Every structure is written in C-alpha cells, then in structure tokens.
Amino acid sequence: MDHVVVVGAGLAGIRSIEALRAHGFAGRITLVGEEPHRPYDRPPLSKAVLLGAADSSVVDSDLDALDVTLRLGTAAKGLREGVLETTDGELQFDGLVVATGATPIRLRGEGHQHVLRTIDDALALRAKLLPETRVVVIGAGWIGAEVATAAARAGCQVTVVEAADAPLAGALPVGAYTIPWYAEAGVELRLGTKVGTVDPDGLTLLTGERIPADVVVTGVGVRPAVAWLEGSDVELDNGVLVDEHLRTFAPNVVAVGDCANWWSRRFGRRMRIEHWDNALNGPDVAAATLMGEQAVFDPVPYFWSEQFNHMVQYAGHHAGARMVLRGDPERDAGWSVCWLTDGHRLSAILTVDRPRDLLQGRRLVESRQRVDVARLADPGVTLRDC
C-alpha cells in the first residue's frame, strides 16, 4: 500500500492517521475534510465553547510529524474502485478510511434553525446567547440538555420542547429522573410537545399553538454523513456497514467513528455509536485491518454528558436488560442505574455524579463476572465488592 486517503477530518480521521503511522505505515497519507478547519474535538462545543470558556478545541496532534497532505475545505463526492471523487478533483488510493461522521437533522419551516455540530455552529450560537434572549431548544436529548444548560447560564429565557414524555427518551429509559434539573436551572421543559414548523419568530406546534422565540436551536439527532457513498461498492444501512474488523464490503476500505455500523461480538448485534470514545478507539483497529493485521473492534461503549451541573456517564449496552437502581434519584446527590443480563451480569451502567461507580461498573461490564444483586442495589457498597 502506497497511498491511504482518510475522508473526514474529525477525531476518527486524525486518530486513523496516528494509528496508521503507529502500525508502521510509511507511505503517503492524504486527509480530505469538508470543513476548512484542522481536526478538533466536538464535546467542548456544547460545553466550554458555548459557555465562553474556550474559542477552540483543536486536537493536539502533530500533523507535520505525521507527514500528512491536507485537503481541507474539500468534500468527497463519490467512490469507485481505487478512486475518490472530490469537489477538487479525483484522488487515487490503495487504502481508504471513511470517517465522515454525522450531520444534524433539521426540521421544516422558513425560520432560522441553529444546529450544533461544528465550531462555526458553536460560535454563531454563542454570539446569540445574550441575557433575556428567548431561546427555544427543540429536543431534550444530550445536545439539547447541554445547550439549555449553557443558554440558562448566559441569562437567556430558555424553553426546551420535547416530543417524548421524558428527556433522553431516544437513548435511555431513565431520563424522567432528570426532569427536575430543568426547573432547578430556570428552564421550562415542555414534554409531549411536537413541533410543526420553525418560523422566523418562533415555532408552530402540531396543535397550532405558537411559541415565540428569538433563537431556535434544533437538537433532534443526526444522520450518518454517507450520502456521498451511494452507488459505490460500500454497503450502506444506518451508516457504513462494516464487520468486526471495521472492514467494508469494498476492498481496502474501512470505516470508523459516528458513520460506522459495526458488528459487536460482545453484544451480538450491530452498533452505530455517536460518541467520542468510539471515534477515539476505533481507528486503531481500522488501521490494523488496512495493514493486514488481525484486530477486532469489541469495545464496551462509553459516553458522558455534562448538563445542569451534573456529570452523567454511561458504559455498556442496556437493551433487554433488567434495571436496578443504586440510590434514590429524588433524594440522593448522586445515583446510578445498573442493567443486568442473565440475572447477575452487568451489561450497562449509568451514573450521575458517581464517577467511581462508572469506573468500576465499566470493568464489571468488560469482565462479565457475576455480581451480588442485593449488594449492587446498596449505594454504600462499592461496586468492586459486589
């Protein structure tokens, strides 16, 4: 292999380049990225950047030492065997890494909708978060909750509109425990509220009711950014279909990060994870696969969210598992939720302001060792001793 092209200059893209060099690849590497920016981290966008504590989150990586040719401000348009078509001409490759991430979903309507995916999105939104500004956030998911946190701290009048009957409903069955956090932060939370259109001066709900707003932020999820691969040999289904080695169906093409839908040996199902840890760790396996080594991607998925002064962390996969509470969300400052499969094995853990539970719980998910359920339900017993 002489030339590897990495498409997508996000975290998964830059980590893929570092991993290729770490695995001994000495050929040429070209990084093609649609944004004009060097690779940066996205988690700070809805936290430090929106709060005004940082203006940039560039990934600490020595691009010169990595000997990369940068093609920034260039989008991939199509793929055929050994050739990447871009907005700036064609590139021949021997190996290709697809790391194009995901794109925010927008709703119908003529009004301006802010979304939060890029540093430019974050800086544009931050400039609008002035005291007394009426900010309506659509969606009480991870992004919506973090945007509401920042907007409330900036002194805005914040309303969060959510179609489901609890926050985080798309991700977790325990989001109802976070409802009080909104009122405590002075944020109005309207559940079971469906948006019809975004208008120049606010929202029109499906019921016909109008909600006035100066700023509308749409945080209703993302779609994998893979439209450019339609019609190629790369198979698409909820992202790029890859095997447990992150290999696509096209020769010498791998996929990583938010856009990759991989086969998880550990959980016996396909997974597409839109979280930082996944974009950080997948590239090592993808690079090994391109180099002809035998590596398997089999992580315990992990993510965190900082919202309303709470640190929320999650590890594992909880579908189909029995839920056990550790602590009382209504009374305790910190609490956790454990999910068990086979009666006694931890398959996932969610912690709120209990980082030690997360650390130890993650190890239990990884090891699959049996736990004592009665001790697990007692927040006074450390998880290591369950």
Residues that bind ligand FAD (CB under 6 A): 7-13, 32-35, 42-43, 45-46, 75-76, 99-102, 116-117, 143, 225, 228, 257-258, 274-277, 279, 303-305
The string of DSSP codes covering 216-252 is EEE-S-EEES-GGGTTSSS-BSSSEE--TT-B-SSTT
CB of 278 to ligand FAD, least distance (A): 6
CB of 118 to ligand FAD, least distance (A): 7
CB of 114 to ligand FAD, least distance (A): 11
- Residue 142 and residue 306: Cα distance in Å, rounded? 9
CB of 373 to ligand FAD, least distance (A): 28
Closer CB to ligand FAD, residue 310 or residue 345?
310
Count CA atoms closer than 13 A to 78's CA, side-chain side: 6
Closer CB to ligand FAD, residue 35 or residue 162?
35
Strands 3-7 and 260-264: unpaired
Whole-Å CA distances, 250 to 21, 279, 354, 376:
23, 21, 44, 46
CB atoms within 10 A of CB 277: 16
Residue 101 in tokens: 């991430």
Cβ-Cβ contacts under 8 Å for 155 (sequence gap 6 or more):
130, 131, 132
Closer CB to ligand FAD, residue 304 or residue 332?
304
Query: What's the CA dihedral at 370, 376, 381, 382 to 10 degrees?
Result: 60
CB of 386 to ligand FAD, least distance (A): 26
Closer CB to ligand FAD, residue 126 or residue 245?
126
Closer CB to ligand FAD, residue 35 or residue 357?
35
Closer CB to ligand FAD, residue 29 or residue 99?
99
140, 51 contact by CB (below 8 A)? no
* Residue listed under structure tokens 């997974």: 271
CB of 245 to ligand FAD, least distance (A): 17
- Residue 266 and residue 283: Cα distance in Å, rounded? 18
Q: Which helix (H) or strand (E) holds 65?
A: helix 63-66
Cβ-Cβ contacts under 8 Å for 85 (sequence gap 6 or more):
76, 77, 78, 79
CB of 25 to ligand FAD, least distance (A): 19
CB of 95 to ligand FAD, least distance (A): 17
Whole-Å CA distances, 299 to 17, 183, 232:
20, 36, 28
CB of 280 to ligand FAD, least distance (A): 8
Closer CB to ligand FAD, residue 101 or residue 202?
101
Q: Which amino acid is at 50?
A: L
Q: Which amino acid is at 257?
A: G
- Residue 277 and residue 257: Cα distance in Å, rounded? 9
The string of DSSP codes covering 345-356 is EEEEEEEES-HH
Q: Which bin fits 32, alpha (ψ -120 to 50), beta or left (φ > 0)?
A: beta
CB of 302 to ligand FAD, least distance (A): 7
Closer CB to ligand FAD, residue 76 or residue 189?
76
Closer CB to ligand FAD, residue 122 or residue 383?
122
Residue 182 in tokens: 């909104």
Closer CB to ligand FAD, residue 143 or residue 166?
143
